Amino acid sequence: MSEIVIHDDENFERALKRFKKKCEKAGILSDLRKYRHYEKPSEKRKRKMSAAARKTRRVARFTRD
């Protein structure tokens, strides 16, 4: 369960932004989307392969220098 402490001088929009970022880092929304509906094994493989390709491109971009 993610929670944040709202400071006295902090506005609501800023606190909501921090909460959303914390939920994103914890992976709550991705888990929710993952279990929302059944995913065929072929779709799961395709999703994982595209994620691996994105990760490979990202790593290659930083190691190029």
Q: For the segment 3-56, what is each residue's pLDDT rounded down to a tens digit?
A: 888 988 999 999 999 999 998 888 888 888 888 888 899 999 999 999 999 999
Establish if 33 belongs to a structural domain: yes
**Number of domains within the chain:** 1
Q: How many helices (H) and strands (E) does the chain have?
A: 3, 0
Q: Which pTM does this prediction carry?
A: 0.50
Cβ–Cβ under 8 Å, residues 2 and 19: yes
Establish if 2 belongs to a structural domain: no
Establish if 39 belongs to a structural domain: yes
Q: Residues with Cβ < 8 Å from 6, sequence gap 6 or more?
A: 15
Establish if 5 belongs to a structural domain: no
Cβ–Cβ under 8 Å, residues 6 and 15: yes
Domain extent, residue 38, equals: 12-63
Residue in the block written with tokens 């800023």 = 14
Establish if 24 belongs to a structural domain: yes
